[in-house]
Amino acid sequence: MEAHVESTVESFPDRPDPAPPGGSLRLCLLGPLTVWRGRQALALPPSRKVRALLAYLALAPQGVPRSRLVELLWDGPDDPRGELRWCLSKLRALLDAPGRPAVLSEGESVRLALPEAAIDARALLNAAAPADAAGWRQRAAALDGEFLQDLAIERSAPFSAWLLGQRRRFRELHAAALEALARALPEGDDEAVGALERWLEINPFERRAHLALFGALAARGRLREGDEHLAAAARAFEAESQDWAPLGRAWAEAKASRGRALPSALPASVAESPLAATPAALRRASIAVMPFADPGRHGDSRGGLADGLVHDMITRLAKLRSLFVIAQGTVFALDERRIDADEAGRALDVDYLASGTLHREPGRIAVEVRLVEARSSRVLWADRFASPLQDTFALLEEIGNRIVASIAQQIEVAERNRAVLLPPGSLDAWAAHHRGLWHMVRFNRADNEQAHHFFAQAARLDPTFARPHAGLSFTHFQNAFLGWGDRAQEVEAAYRCAAQGVLADERDPAAHWAMGRALWLRGALDAALGELETSVELSPNFALGHYTLGFVRAQSGDPRAAIRACDQSRDLSPFDPLLFAMLASRALALMRLGRHDEAADWAARAIARPNAHVHVQCIGAHCLALAGRLDEARQVAASIRAARPDYRLDDFLASFRLGEDALALTHQAAQRIGLDL
């Protein structure tokens, strides 16, 4: 979930009268779908697919390809594009006004031309955090409605998965607003108790809500109600095979304190972000980035370089979409109360803690960073990053990129290793996904099949989790790219799974990365580059997005841009399982530039990696041959033939999309070593 970012977007008004004055359009997606023009509610088309299409376009951050809309809603019509055109015509009739079209077709994409503030759901997603109880009261009221209530499309799994994900997203926002409202009110206030009870209606197993309610009831002396609540909660937890003992201890402590704040409760300012929802609800690993120590800072003032770096790290980690990241206001509130990292980890109930120290040295800045597993206090990783003291924003960009990528990679490795040790029958979606990642990065056919199995399990357990869909797409990509199945079928399967990932979470960079690779397999190079660029725009720290841009451009695009992208990916993830591919793509780009000696050196590094597959070895043989290192090239060729006796140059060429210059150099290299590779 993304860290909260201040926005000037208008907060959506209370729900009873959402219609704006004048003749402008406004869409209400929370509750039953309604469309207003001025103060008149428009009659919606009876077709559920037309209404579903309207809702999806309303929430999309940019134009949506027609192919994705077809995947979303149609799984059977002989002419799905014709069905889509019919639905769009109904939307234009509903929304367009003379001289003011609202439904725009731009090439192969479709978008709504409405301001963000005209769509209640989008306005709420981007609105700034309220400053007081009145603002949180209004926010909670605006969110008090099921997203697209009563709208469902039978036999449309992609739309159902998207709808389920959005409903969970807005329930989490509603829960966070209720929590913030309760904390903004006097402890024990009847309205605060009501907000906590409504929070528990949304998420009945949220331990923090139970603890806060116990504190509020104890503060007002409502001990009988607290006893009754504990008994009901215990029955509910037992029915779901969950441990309710901590709730019992918390209520006993609350009764003993009679009005004092619970030691396990967070300070009132902790919940200042509307996105501060529970990690457990998201089934993601959670991390808190604690404020960095800065010995050079004067007094207790905030806003210096160390605080800026922490803010940047929180935002960048959140944009990866693979972790639950505690909001900045929470960690700074704990720091101001002189709560150390270990105690903060227990209070926040997170899996990982990042902390560090900023040092000012002559002419440069150095940052020491540590990543700790919160429950064991075990240091998983520590490093020191230094950069010349220059422009502050450039400094944050350089050091922040390296720190964030390192933290994300270390957590992924830890989660993969933990998932491998769990019994297969006990895996939830998060663990099954990481079990799939463990197999995926071995790059052989048997492990690829295992990866497919675990990704499919994760997608079944949580269809709104985008990463398993991206993983499934990658397994089909490997099958097509390495010749492990029917290429045409695997290409289409890679595309379908990638589309499911994008539908599950439009802002997950891995989903757009998978879509870019699938479109590249299809031969849609411009569209592929567009998706890959979207992945790195969504998360500049997403190393695989940068690598795949380099991979595509190394073959037929700008080779210098390919080298920059490959270097960026290696800087972000120097120990990545796909390092062999990053090195090989760089070698291919150098080969096209005629820098054959350099290309051979990089290719040799690529083929030395333990998981380098046959195509990478083939690139190595070509680069070595063009550099005149014929004996080494022939040795690589012999290794290829020993492992794959049936492998030929045509297999290599069929898997890549080489431009004319790269194609000519490849044939030239094959002739030099005298082998049909």
Reported as a single tens digit per residue, the pLDDT across 544-602 is 999 999 999 999 889 999 999 999 999 888 888 999 999 999 999 999 999 999 999 99
- In this prediction, residue 271 carries a pLDDT of 37
b/e 630-651 (16+ beta carbons within 10 angstroms → b): eebbbebbeebeeebeebebeb
Query: Rounded distance, CA 25 to CA 416, Å?
Result: 48
Reported as a single tens digit per residue, the pLDDT across 169-197 is 888 889 889 988 988 888 778 898 999 99
How far, in Å, CA of 500 to CA of 473, rounded? Answer: 9
| Residue 605 burial (CB count, 10 A) | 18
The span from the CA of 629 to the CA of 174, in Å, is 64
What pLDDT is stored for residue 51 in this prediction? 92
Query: What percentage of the chain reaches a pLDDT higher than 90?
Result: 42
Q: Dig out the tokens for 648 from the structure.
A: 């030929």
Which residues have C-beta within 8 Å of that of residue 620, sequence separation ≥ 6?
Answer: 584, 587, 603, 604, 606, 607, 612, 633, 636
Distance between CA atoms of 618 and 616, rounded to whole angstroms?
5
Alpha-carbon gap, residue 261 to 543, rounded angstroms: 44
Compute the mean pLDDT over every residue in the chain, rounded to the nearest whole number. 84
Task: Write down the H helix ranges in 593-659.
Answer: 596-607, 614-626, 630-643, 649-655
- Over residues 394-444, the pLDDT tens digits come to 667 778 888 998 999 999 999 998 888 888 777 888 999 999 999 998 889
pLDDT digits (tens, 9 = 90+) for 372-402: 998 888 899 999 988 777 655 666 777 888 8
**For helices 223-239 and 207-219, angle between their N-to-C axes, nearest 10 degrees:** 160
**Mutual orientation of helices 630-643 and 660-672 as an angle, nearest 10°?**
90
* Residue 298 pLDDT: 60
Predicted confidence (pLDDT) at residue 643 exceeds the cutoff of 60: yes
* Mean pLDDT of the region 440-464: 91
Is the pLDDT higher at 71 or at 474?
474
- Which pLDDT does position 264 carry in this prediction? 37
Half-sphere exposure of 130 (CA within 13 A, CB side): 23
Burial 662-677 (b: 16+ CB within 10 A, else e): beebbeebbebbebeb
Of the candidates 458, 553, 574, 562, the residue with the CA atom closest to the CA atom of residue 510: 458
| Paired sense of beta strands 285-289 and 109-112, if any | unpaired
For helices 466-481 and 429-440, the axis angle rounded to 10 degrees is: 20
Terminus-to-terminus CA distance in the chain, angstroms? 47
pLDDT in tens, 198-226: 999 988 888 888 888 988 888 888 888 88
- Given a contact cutoff of 8 angstroms between Cβ atoms, the answer to whether 478 and 484 are in contact is yes
Backbone phi and psi for residue 595, each to the nearest 5 degrees, phi listed first: -95, 70
- Sign of torsion, CA 545 551 553 558? positive
Answer yes or no: is pLDDT of 8 > 60.
no
pLDDT of residue 301: 56
From the list 355, 346, 287, the residue with the least C-alpha distance to 318 is 287
Q: Using CA atoms, how far apart are residues 581 and 505, in angstroms rounded to an integer?
A: 27
Question: Could you give the C-alpha distances from 69 to 465, 494, 562, in angstroms and in order?
Answer: 19, 17, 31
Burial class of residue 454 (count of CB atoms within 10 Å of its CB; 0-12, 13-18, 19+)? buried
Which residue would you say has higher pLDDT here, 19 or 161? Answer: 161
For residues 248 and 500, the model is more confident at 500
- CB 104: neighbour CB atoms within 10 A? 14
Q: Report residue 225 as tokens.
A: 């109600």
pLDDT of residue 266: 39
Q: Tell me what percent of the residues of the chain surpass a pLDDT of 70.
A: 89
Quick check: helix, strand or coil at residue 244? coil
Q: What is the largest CA-CA distance in the chain?
A: 90
Q: Do residues 491 and 522 make contact, with C-beta atoms less than 8 angstroms apart?
A: yes
pLDDT in tens, 249-303: 888 888 877 644 433 333 343 333 333 333 333 457 889 999 998 886 665 555 5
Closest CA to 319 of 102, 577, 536: 536
In angstroms, the CA 50 to CA 73 distance is 10
- The pLDDT-based confidence of 311 (bands split at 50, 70, 90) is confident
pLDDT confidence of residue 394: 63
CA-nearest of 607, 546, 595 to 571 is 546
Bridge-partner residues for 35, per DSSP? 27
Measured distance CA(528)–CA(443) in Å, rounded: 23
State the DSSP string of 427-445: --HHHHHHHHHHHHTT-SH
- Predicted confidence at residue 6, as pLDDT, reads 31
Q: Distance from CA of residue 605 to its chain's centroid?
A: 31
For residue 643, CA distances in Å to 159, 545, 617 come to 44, 30, 11
657: confidence class by pLDDT, cuts 50, 70, 90: very high
* b/e per residue 506-529 (b: at least 16 CB within 10 A): bebbbbbbbbbbbbbbeebbebbb
Q: Is the pLDDT of residue 106 over 60?
A: yes
Distance CA 586, CA 588 (A): 5
* pLDDT for res 115: 82
pLDDT computed for residue 265 by the predictor: 38
Q: CB–CB of 309/292 below 8 Å?
A: yes
Q: Which two tokens stand for residue 201?
A: 């209606």
Q: What is the 3-state secondary structure (H, E, C) of 535-599?
A: HHHHCCCCHHHHHHHHHHHHHHCCHHHHHHHHHHHHHHCCCCCCHHHHHHHHHHHHHHCCCHHHH
Contacts of 440 (CB under 8 A, 6+ apart): 447, 448, 451, 455, 471, 474, 475
pLDDT at 305: 81
- Helices (H), ranges, 508-542: 509-522, 525-538
CA 496 to chain centre: 19
Q: Say what the pLDDT of residue 391 is.
A: 59
Instruction: Give which of 505, 507, 535, 508 is closest to 519, Cα–Cα.
Output: 535
Q: Which two tokens stand for residue 213?
A: 């309610």
Q: Token pair of 62, please?
A: 């940019």
Residue 543 in contact with residue 551, Cβ under 8 Å?
A: no
pLDDT of residue 656: 95
- How many whole angstroms separate alpha carbon 252 and alpha carbon 51? 51
Q: What is the DSSP string of 275-311?
A: T---HHHHTSEEEEEPPPB-TTS-TT---SHHHHHHH
Quick one: average pLDDT of 601-624?
94
